[in-house]
Chain A
Amino acid sequence: MAASGGRFLSAEEHAVVAAACARLIPARDPHPGGAAVGCADYIDGLLGAFGVEPPRIFAGGPFSGRAGGAAGFGDFLPLSRVEELAWRTRIEGSRGIAAREFNGPVRGWQEEYRAGVAALGADFTTVDAAIQDARLDAFPDFRAVLYRHACEGAYAAPEYGGNRDQAGWTAIGFPGDVQPRGYRDIEVSGRA
């Protein structure tokens, strides 16, 4: 399963994932919800992490530039040999490769998404919300993977591909990364 340009999902699959994220994290004023904050972009970027170099696993540092300093989060860090083994196995699955199967075969997220999205149905984006919920409930294992990734996509640093324009953080009143500015003592100890 190739991940060209650091993406994995087809346009149709991407739309299904976005619609599913909108049910797991529904919009509610002022929260734009899982689709609008870009959870599907985050997930696509994770599934296609090895299509870019260095892979999109560990964002760089020490600062993002949002609170001062130079922007370093976007310069992803290279992986070690065993880290690459772990993350490729998680994402691509073990595929019978002995080095990945020292404790047995592993099913990868790419396969889980391909199969999970197919199971939700090609018409998933067009059916009623209640039907969408029922289909998600019918595949609890896939729903759990999707929910975990949707939460990461909504509230992780935007450099990972989700939390578009920090919309997830803004909605919940979380300021995100604050180095190197930090907080003054009065902001820590005071009520406001």
Chain B
Amino acid sequence: MSDVDAVIVGSGPAGATAAEVLTGAGWSVVMLEKGRNHLLALDEPYGPLGHVSNDELKFLSRHFLGPDPFLEPRTFRHRESEGDRIFTGGVNNLPSTVGGGGFHADGKLPRFREVDFHARSELGPIEDADIVDWPVGYDELEPYYAAAERLVGVAGDHTANPFAAWRSGPYPMPPGADMYCAVLTSEAATRHGFHPYRAPTGVNSVEYDGRPACNNCGFCAFFGCPIEAKGDPVAPLRRALQTGRLELRTESYVTDVLIEPSGRRARGVRYLDADGSPHEVSAGTVILGAGAFETPRLLLRSGIGNPDVVGRYLMFHFQTYVLGIFPSRLHGHRGRSVTHLMDDPIVPDDLAAAAARAAGLPYFRGGIVEHGSGSHPIVEAIHLPPGAAHTRLMLESPMRDHMVAFTMQGEDLPQSTNRVDLDPTVRDVWGAPAGRVTFAPHRHEAACAAHWAPRLEAVLRDAGADSTFWVTSPPLEDAPRRFGRDPTPISRHIMGTARMGTDPRTSVCDPWQRVHDVENVLITDSSVFPTSTGYGPTLTIVALALRAARALAGLDPLRSTRPPDAPGS
């Protein structure tokens, strides 16, 4: 007999979604989260704890939501020839806390497009990349996307994006307030033939699901929401707790998945509690929602999954920041950080197609462009030089009150050499080997960035910017354009590392996200993504987790019908 029906590792969107489905289906669940709980009380009525605040120091300088890079360092190198590592510290850290990264993301939640699920068969291969089709298509996923939007609470305008895939219905809420700077840049973008639209966001624009509307406080991306206007993942976690069948154990660090002697089944997990004492939980099913960085680290430490594939095909988004400094103040500190998106680089036009050919590539796969505001004051200050220039520039505020940042989340092509593995010497505070990233972008990403950045600079100039420039993250190794001294990609979109597919020789999970060789281990985070697409991953994480968890619980698949007049590609 097991202690519980399922044990879930991680309380972010991936784990929380699975918890809601399984507890709703009557399963008993223990969820283990290594971080602290600042999200919600763990007894009735599971209200806010009041720890979250508009406090730049706490969230951006002091690792309030974890992980503290001293306690949980990660290491980085571009390629094996550089030696064991070239950097130790924070590498692509998503928060380690109850709620995971969902808690402090600003929650732009677009869906993928139909073609994203079969780029290989529709568009063809690209040399030196392993582009593959997904084992699930958009039409099958549509009802789960719709359910995810209702579950989290997404505000958006279903008619606004001409490139969007078909939908079975509108968003559950209308879009929230447009930021002034994004209104300026959207008008200019339209003049340049782009198609900006009001971002679908997992933030309440009206009261929804018992939580209030966003009041535009401006401490959004990288902060928790003090008034619970963001739904992901507080909404599913609270509903799971309300069933009385979820026990959430915080400050519980899972060290390994325990395997039966047959090697074919897991019997549970081992973890260390807040004091460092070891415990075991036995469970009928083990669900990993530790995020696309920690899940492969756990698989590697437990010796689970196809060893030729686990940890490989690590993908971030290749981020191109196109920055414009405007002569007037833009008050970018009011609002949700990003209120507009555009998909044009995902749906290349003739110019982009020609640029791809000129770069020797069959096509470009760009990414959404986020119309974003400037930084907060401490961040602005530490990027300025000390001395007289500091005070003069802080008073002028080029990077905070005068800046617009376009971020293109460029698709990062899957390569087997890009991977998470275990560092040979660096340890975390619990004594386990640190996760190590080996990552160098494909030449496609750099060429695509170099094409779109000047076109986006022209938009910013037309919107009124009097100076523009662009940088990428990760920095191009041979380019002078650098974003700080850090060689690591700063993208918080992490994917791949346990890709799903039908062939156990080339994938880690099956199409239902079960690990091929250990039948009762399921992965619900973006580790399973075969490709990265140019969209934020989180709505797709939630939709896939709904689908996989419903199948696990033996619930009927969700279905939807495409309206006959549905727009979309």
Q: Which residues of A are interface residues toward B (Cβ below 8 A)?
A: 23-28, 30-31, 33, 57-64, 72-73, 77, 80-83, 85-86, 89-90, 102-103, 106, 133, 143, 147-148, 150-152, 154-157, 160, 168-169, 171-185, 187-191
Contacts and interface: CB of A to CB of B under 8 A. Distances in A.
Nearest to A190: B180
Given A24-B390, A147-B386, A171-B394, A152 B378 contact: yes
Contacts of B382: 147-148, 151
Given A102-B429, A173-B397, A62 B226 contact: yes
Interface stretch (B212-220, B347-355, B525-533): B212-220
A42 B84 CA distance: 39
Contacts of B387: 23-24, 26, 133
18 contacts: A26-B390, A28-B395, A60-B51, A62-B53, A62-B226, A63-B226, A73-B55, A82-B429, A90-B70, A147-B386, A151-B378, A154-B381, A155-B56, A156-B56, A172-B394, A172-B395, A181-B215, A182-B214
Interface residues of B, number: 63
Contacts of A183: 215-218, 334-335
Contact of B274 (A25, A81, A156, A190): A81
Contacts of A182: 214-217
A143 B386 contact: yes
Contacts, number: 178
B251 A80 contact: yes
Contacts of A103: 73, 88, 426-427
B429 A178 contact: no
A155 B427 contact: no
Shortest 3 CB-CB distances between A and B: which pairs? A182-B215, A61-B53, A177-B54
Contact of B71 (A59, A63, A72, A82): A82
A76 to B, nearest CB: 10
A59 B335 contact: no
Nearest to B253: A82
Contacts of B388: 26, 28
Contacts of B214: 182
Given A103-B73, A183-B218, A61 B52 contact: yes
B429 A58 contact: no
Given A26-B387, A58-B58, A180-B226, A189 B178 contact: yes
Nearest to B391: A28
Contacts of B88: 103
B391 A26 contact: yes
B492 interface: no
A95 B57 CA distance: 27
Given A60-B50, A189-B177, 5 more contacts: A103-B426, A152-B378, A171-B394, A177-B55, A182-B215
B64 interface: yes
A177 B218 CA distance: 9
A6 to B, nearest CB: 17
Contacts of B48: 62
Contact of A72 (B50, B333, B335, B401): B50
A154 B384 CA distance: 14
A143 B385 CA distance: 11
Nearest to B179: A188
B431 interface: yes
A57 B63 CA distance: 10
Nearest to A175: B333
A185 B217 CA distance: 11
B395 A185 contact: no
A82 B275 CA distance: 9
B352 to A, nearest CB: 31
Contacts of A72: 50, 53
B275 A81 contact: yes
Interface string B53-90: 11111100111100010110100000000000000100
A77 B55 contact: no
Contact of B391 (A33, A90, A102, A174): A33
A72 B52 CA distance: 10
A189 B56 contact: no
Contacts of B70: 86, 89-90, 106
B377 interface: yes
Contacts of B333: 174-175
A110 to B, nearest CB: 16
A22 to B, nearest CB: 10
B211 interface: no
A83 B68 contact: yes
Interface centre among A58, A147, A171 (most CB of B within 10 A): A58
A66 to B, nearest CB: 10
A168 B382 CA distance: 14
Interface in B339-388: 377-378, 381-382, 386-388
B327 to A, nearest CB: 13
B183 interface: yes
B50 A176 contact: no
A31 B391 contact: yes
Contacts of A148: 382
B227 interface: yes
